[in-house]
Amino acid sequence: MKKRFWFLAAVGILVVALAAPAAFAAITGSGQEVEPQQDQVFFDQMFDWHQGWLDQAQKNSGVSPEQAKAWQEHFSYMRDFHAQNGFGPMGSMMDGEGLNGMMGSGGMVVLNEDDCMVEMARFFLDFTQKESCGKCTFCRLGTKHMLTILENITKGQGKPEDLELLLELAGDVKAGSLCGLGKTAPNPVLSTVKYFRDEYEAHIHEKRCPALMCKDLIAYYILPEKCERSCNACVGSCPVEAIFDNEDRIKVIDQKKCVKCDSCMVACPPQYKAVVKLSPPEAVAEYEKGKRS
Ligand code: SF4
Ligand code: SF4
């Protein structure tokens, strides 16, 4: 009995000893533990699979020529991007240093020009900040401080010195955290500042969200020249009754009432597309002035 216990204990220790380093290497994703060649093989296989899928889809007429062209351009871009920036572990976001960015594990987030990169960084940092166990001071307080700065920027309350402060804090949190969560938490910020610095600057200096995503930096507006029929679809969709007819019987949005829910934009029939988003919100006054003059 005793012999069997010690045998099982020895097997258990051996399994943990073999599995733990691999698990930690996968979690930290810091680059040192991962063989770059392995990642390149993985990415090459993935690109080949995508190419095979596209070739087959074209043969079966599963995609239009325009779609095929768009996919092909995207695949070529991704191949070039990874060739220049390195091949990271799964779930990583490349940031120019190769194996140095992580925005989650086991998933891929695809974004387009309608996604605000500052808001994305805020979203990911909000997640990691809540996940922090709080053991390391840099992770506990640093991510909180970074999150507050990002929240202010997305609300139009960013200050010119915020960008440098964010980068400084990001470096401190990475260096001062013990585990993979703290070490990778600032990566979405580092990556987005590196590749989309102009979006941060637009938020901070112009109080404008180029992707028209940050609620505090946008306003909804009805283009009178497009709302010719005044079909009323938007009026019924508005949860706060913010849309009304002005004295010229033109649909107008009461900006004080509007909660920026997007319903009117969705409700407006595609043949009219009369509801638009403007940023900064002050652009509405300029539009209206332009219509009057
Ligand atoms: S965005 Fe929402 S709240 Fe604002 S006017 Fe449109 S429907 Fe109403
Ligand atoms: S749904 Fe569009 S077209 Fe219809 S009234 Fe509203 S803004 Fe005008």
How many other β-carbons are positioned within 10 Å of the β-carbon of residue 244?
Answer: 13
CB 238 within 8 A of CB 255: no
Type of residue found at 221: Y
Number of the ligand 1 atom closest to the C-alpha atom of 267: 7
| H or E element, residue 244 | strand 243-245
pLDDT value of position 267: 96
Number of the ligand 1 atom closest to the C-alpha atom of 260: 1
- φ/ψ of residue 218, rounded to 5: -130, 165
Query: How far apart (Å, rounded) are the C-alpha atoms in residues 134 and 124?
Result: 17
> Which residues make Cβ contacts (< 8 Å) with residue 236, sequence separation at least 6?
267
* 129 lies in some domain: yes
pLDDT value of position 100: 45
Number of the ligand 2 atom closest to the C-alpha atom of 272: 3
Q: In terms of Cα–Cα distance, which of 142, 140, 164 is closest to 153? A: 164
Give the tokens for residue 104.
Answer: 């989650």
| CATH code, domain with 231 | 3.30.70.20
Pocket-testing residue among 212, 220, 222, 273, ligand 1, by greatest number of atoms within 8 A of Cβ: 220
Upstream peptide bond of 160 is cis (omega within 30 degrees of 0): no
Total structural domains within the chain: 2
Domain that holds residue 245: 218-292
Per residue in 194-226, pLDDT tens? 999 999 999 999 999 999 999 999 999 999 999
Residues in the chain: 293
Residues 130 and 189 in one domain: yes
At residue 45, the 3 state secondary structure works out as helix
**Last-in-domain residue among 140, 170, 205:** 205
**Last-in-domain residue among 205, 230, 262:** 205
Residues 174 and 245 in one domain: no
Instruction: Answer whether residue 30 shows pLDDT above 60.
Output: no
* 255 lies in some domain: yes
Q: How far is it between the farthest Cα atoms of the chain?
A: 96
Which pLDDT band, with edges at 50, 70 and 90, does 62 fall under?
A: confident
Determine the distance separating the centroid of ligand 2 and the alpha carbon of 86, expressed in angstroms: 48
pLDDT value of position 19: 38
Q: What is the pTM of this model?
A: 0.68
Query: How far apart (Å, rounded) are the C-alpha atoms in residues 138 and 170?
Result: 9
Which pLDDT band, with edges at 50, 70 and 90, does 17 fall under?
A: very low
Residues 190 and 227 in one domain: no
Which pLDDT band, with edges at 50, 70 and 90, does 107 fall under?
A: low
* 152 lies in some domain: yes
Q: Verify whether ligand 1 is closer than 6 Å to residue 20 (CB atom).
A: no
| For ligand 1, atom 7: residue with the closest CA | 238
Q: Verify whether ligand 1 is closer than 6 Å to residue 250 (CB atom).
A: no
* 287 lies in some domain: yes
pLDDT value of position 228: 77
Instruction: Answer whether residue 33 shows pLDDT above 60.
Output: no
Residues 188 and 234 in one domain: no
Residues 228 and 283 in one domain: yes
Position of tokens 């508005």?
Answer: 238
| CATH code, domain with 165 | 1.20.1440.230
